[in-house]
Amino acid sequence: MPEVIMPKMGDAMEEGTLLKWLKSEGDEVAEGDPIAEIETDKVTLEIEAEDSGTLAQLMVSEGQDVPVGEAIAFIAGEGEEVPEKGGGGQEAEAEAGGDDSGAQAQTATEEQPSQPQGGGAQPQAADGAQADGNGHFRASPIVRRLARENNLDLSRINGSGPAGRIVERDVRAAMESGTAQAGAQADGGGAQQSPDGQAQTAVEAPEQPQGQIVEMQGFQPARIPEPTGVPGTTLVEPTRMMRVIGERMTEAKQHVPHFYATVEVRMDAAMALRKQLNEQLEGEGVKLSVNDFVMKACAVALRNYPNLNALYTTRGVELHEKVDMAMAVALDQGLITPVIRDLASKGLATISRESKDLAARARDGKLKPEEYQGGTFTVSNMGMFGVESFTAIINPPQAAIVAVSSIEKRPAFDDAGLVVPASMMKLTLSADHRIANGRDGALYMSEVKRTLENPVLLMV
């Protein structure tokens, strides 16, 4: 029986969150029907059925994190038996284990990233997913064993142990009163879960978010306090994307030795050129942004500083000839860095068109994994927010990132020593000291400055 697995939506993806079941257990599904909505660290998307048949088992609850490649459901084809309610879970699992056909599900439409349905992973009330809920309760090993052996639904048992742990006496009491029998409750879907094998698979999953949060907290989790809970506070659980950003940035700040170099660039010439070009190209719908100039200048200048267009790998520093420029795009829920390939060889108009397209689709959550993976250098621009200067955290394994600040009018001296107005912009390089030294960073930034101050250089 084909299984529907958590798909791998990119090299870095290790697990995804099942946000919502779009079908119920027992539903007929046709090939291509969306059956569930999942959230990865980057996007939210729908999983489609790759086979037609009956959705036989939903193996995870909404809100649950599932490792890539693990089955989330089974689709029974025509003539195939839906697993027995009593002991089918393990059989189904065994069968799934032997099924090498790989992904039985493919992703369809990608949707706006949205928050997981709370961290609490409420079992769906309407269908029989209750038994899956066995994973969401603290219960002692003997309790889980008794639940399996006696077909009990732990969600119907109150735990009397520490932190609500369900302990043996609770189960014995429930067995006597008969209140915890799985499947005792009549329900519309008519699909009862076997508390069997699935209970086992469900057991471990809820631990994972906790583990991740601990990791995200770094090496001294003890210093992170419990919530105060005082009036006037709200507790917000981080989204998957925020957790991932938190983990990666913590890792970068802890493990990558950053050094910084800031230059102040006089932007009058570039602004004049931009104005001129935009006037000339208006008819073609081209409107170049300052950031297009900065990215182009950063990419062109990298030609002489290959060790800043590099990845820190297990076997050494991988220098890249092409500049695959990642540009940071702020989202409501976090940020993402879509990549413009081989930017140095592209003209400003192309760069402008591609960056607008990527940014728009990033905000809509419609980027494909290959569009935000594999950058070799990053530019992060906060100029539109009026910041005078800032420093960015390197996006590993990349060697460097440039932080772009606002253009501000300042008094400056001309060649005759007279005070004149000047449009100034600060650029700050953050670079990995394992890969490059301060001199490389300083020379590179002065090259970027020279290019932007003499923007004709961008044309050659």
Q: Which residues bind other proteins (CB under 8 A)?
A: 140-145, 160-163, 167-169
Q: Which string of DSSP letters, residue by residue, matches 187-240?
A: -TT--PPPSSHHHHHHHHTTHHHHHHHHHHTTT-GGGSPPP---TT----PPPH
CA angle 78, 79, 83 (to 5 degrees): 100
Give 161 or 306: the residue with its C-beta nearer to other proteins: 161
**Minimum CB separation from other proteins for residue 178, in Å?**
21
β-pair partners for 91: none
**Minimum CB separation from other proteins for residue 176, in Å?**
17
In the annotation, is 255 catalytic?
A: no
**Minimum CB separation from other proteins for residue 165, in Å?**
8
Say what angle helices 290-302 and 268-281 make with each other, to 10 degrees. Answer: 110
**Minimum CB separation from other proteins for residue 168, in Å?**
4
Count of helix runs (H) and strand runs (E) in the chain: 11, 19
Give 202 or 261: the residue with its C-beta nearer to other proteins: 202
Give 147 or 339: the residue with its C-beta nearer to other proteins: 147
Which residue type occupies 67?
P
Write the CB contacts of 331 (distance below 8 Å, at least 6 apart in sequence). Answer: 113, 241, 362, 363, 365
CB count, 10 Å around CB of 218? 15
Give 2 or 197: the residue with its C-beta nearer to other proteins: 197
Tokens standing for residue 48: 């489609």
- HEC profile for 316-380? EEEECCCCCEEECEEECCEEECCEECCHHHCCHHHHHHHHHHHHHHHHCCCCCHHHHCCCCEEEE
**Minimum CB separation from other proteins for residue 381, in Å?**
49
CA–centroid distance for 398 within its chain: 18
| Cα dist from 158 to 140, 154, 179, 202, 232, whole Å | 13, 8, 11, 19, 31
CB count, 10 Å around CB of 229? 7
**Minimum CB separation from other proteins for residue 145, in Å?**
5
**Minimum CB separation from other proteins for residue 203, in Å?**
12
Give 146 or 273: the residue with its C-beta nearer to other proteins: 146
Tokens 């991988």 locate to 318
Give 165 or 248: the residue with its C-beta nearer to other proteins: 165
How far apart CA 126 and CA 132 sit, in angstroms, is 13
How far apart CA 397 and CA 78 sit, in angstroms, is 48
Give 148 or 361: the residue with its C-beta nearer to other proteins: 148
**Minimum CB separation from other proteins for residue 140, in Å?**
5
In this structure, the chain runs to a length of 460
Give 167 or 269: the residue with its C-beta nearer to other proteins: 167
How far apart CA 85 and CA 56 sit, in angstroms, is 11
Give the active site residues.
433
